[in-house]
C-alpha cells in the first residue's frame, strides 16, 4: 500500500510574511497584523541595506498586485469566518 503525505496550511496559521533580498539574503519579517493594517508596500519597494533594489517600482501593476495579494492574504481569515467552507494551501512537507 502506498501513502502520500500532503501538508496544508490554513490562513489562520499564517503569522508573518518574510521578504528576503535575493542578493545578500537579509530578510524582514512582517507580522500579519502589520501586513493587514500597515503599508506593506514599504517593504516591497525598499532598497536593501546591501544596496540592492527590490526591482518593484512604486507605481507598477506588478507592485500593486503584490501589495493587493499580501493585503488579501492578511484578511483571508476574517473573510472566511462564518462561511461554510474551509480553505487551505498545500505546501511542501518538512522532511
- Angle at the Cα of 68 from the Cα atoms of 66 and 70, rounded to 5 degrees: 70
pLDDT tens per residue, the chain (95 residues)? 888 899 999 999 999 999 999 999 999 899 988 888 878 888 887 788 898 888 887 778 988 888 889 889 889 999 999 999 999 999 999 88
Do the domain assignments include residue 30? yes
Residue 1 included in any domain: no
Examine residue 34 and state whether it is found in any structural domain, yes or no.
yes
Report pTM: 0.75
Q: 52: domain range? A: 7-91
What whole-number distance in Å separates Cα of residue 63 and Cα of residue 39? 12
Q: How far apart are CA 89 and CA 47, in angstroms?
A: 30
Structural domains of the chain, count? 1
2 within a domain of the structure (yes/no) = no
Containing 12, the helix (H) or strand (E) segment is none
Amino acid at each position: 500500500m502506498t501513502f502520500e503525505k500532503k501538508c496544508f496550511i490554513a490562513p489562520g496559521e499564517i503569522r508573518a510574511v518574510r521578504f528576503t533580498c535575493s542578493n545578500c539574503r537579509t530578510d524582514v519579517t512582517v507580522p500579519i497584523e502589520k501586513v493587514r493594517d500597515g503599508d506593506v508596500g514599504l517593504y516591497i519597494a525598499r532598497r536593501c541595506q546591501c544596496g540592492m533594489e527590490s526591482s518593484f517600482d512604486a507605481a507598477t501593476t506588478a507592485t500593486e498586485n503584490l501589495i493587493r495579494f499580501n493585503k488579501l492574504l492578511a484578511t483571508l481569515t476574517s473573510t472566511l469566518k462564518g462561511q461554510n467552507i474551509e480553505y487551505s494551501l498545500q505546501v511542501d512537507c518538512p522532511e
